[in-house]
Structures are given as C-alpha cells and as structure tokens.
Amino acid sequence: MKQWELDKRWSDKFLPEIKQLLGLHLIGEPPQEEDAERNTDLIVLKMEPLRIACRIRRNSYYQNLNYRNEITIREGRPSGVKTELAKIIEGWGDYFFYGFSCPLEKNLVLWRLCDLKIFRLWFMQQLAKNKTIPGMSRQNKDGSSSLRVFNVETIPGFVFARLYP
C-alpha cells in the first residue's frame, strides 16, 4: 500500500467527528422571519458545494507546544504527484479543517476551521512582497513527503472556528 493511502486510512477514521463539528459551524439558526414566513428552522450558510480539506496530526505533535499554532500543508512527494499546497494555490478547496488526535487516536483534542480564500490571498501577497514562498519547508522524518509550515497567528482572519482543550 502506498504511503498516502496509509495516511488517508489513518485520518479518515476521524471523518465522523469532523462532520459533526463542521455541522456546528456551517449550519446555523436563521432569523425568526425565516422560520415564520419560509418554514426554515436551520440554514446552511452556503448552498453550493463546499470543498473542505482535512488534515489530522498525531498526538505527539500536539504534545509539543511549538506545533499547536502551526499548520502543515504537504508540498511535495518523491513521486512528483501534485500535492495539497499546489491544489490550494490553484484555487481548490474552500475550507481547511486541521486537528490533532488524542493520545488513543480515537478523537480530536484541538482543531481549527480555516478559510482557504484568505490563505490564498495572504500567500500570494507574501510571495509578491518577499519574492520567496511563504512558510518554512520541512521534510517528513520518513522521507515520504515535504511540508510547508505556517504559523496561523501570522495569517489574519484565516482561522474562523477553533476548539482548544
């Protein structure tokens, strides 16, 4: 089995919890007149397809306080296959759900919901201003991919929902 398949299989076990959390932030209660005049008890904030990228990190990264304000986005694989960073920059994805697993890897202990439109704008502004790719490059310990690391506190408005323990 390929490394990305192993990574995906591991992170997919968190999808039921992620869907519940997203429902809390992407489905809301409408104004009273919506209920009274249009038979509306709940409202989805956007009716067109929303594309949500999800990345879950192992608890060992959560234990290191330095990683809690970082997000990592895969920027390269040895195979040369297009990775998440390229897809995001191309315009794919509306939101980015980023979380850390608990020690038993059964649920999440910290997560953020991030707006990728804001990230793309910030990324391009930083690229134009500094003439270098924003963030810091980091290689996975096993050599399976390279990542670009970003501090969420340096991207204004990027994180719009979060849960801290």
Domain count, the chain: 1
Please give the pLDDT value at position 46: 63
Please report the pLDDT score of residue 45 as a whole number: 66
Planar angle of CA 5, 64, 17, nearest 5 degrees: 50
Q: Evaluate if residue 120 carries a pLDDT over 70.
A: yes
* Residue 17 resides in a domain: no
Residue 81 counted as domain residue: yes
Please check whether residue 39 lies inside any domain of the structure.
no
Q: Which residue has the higher pLDDT, 98 or 8?
A: 98
What ranges in the chain are assigned the alpha helix state H? 3-12, 15-26, 32-38, 59-63, 84-89, 116-130
Q: Check whether 134 has a pLDDT greater than 60.
A: yes
The radius of gyration of the chain from alpha carbons, rounded to an integer in Å, stands at 17
Residue 11 lies in a domain: no
Structural domain range at position 87:
48-163
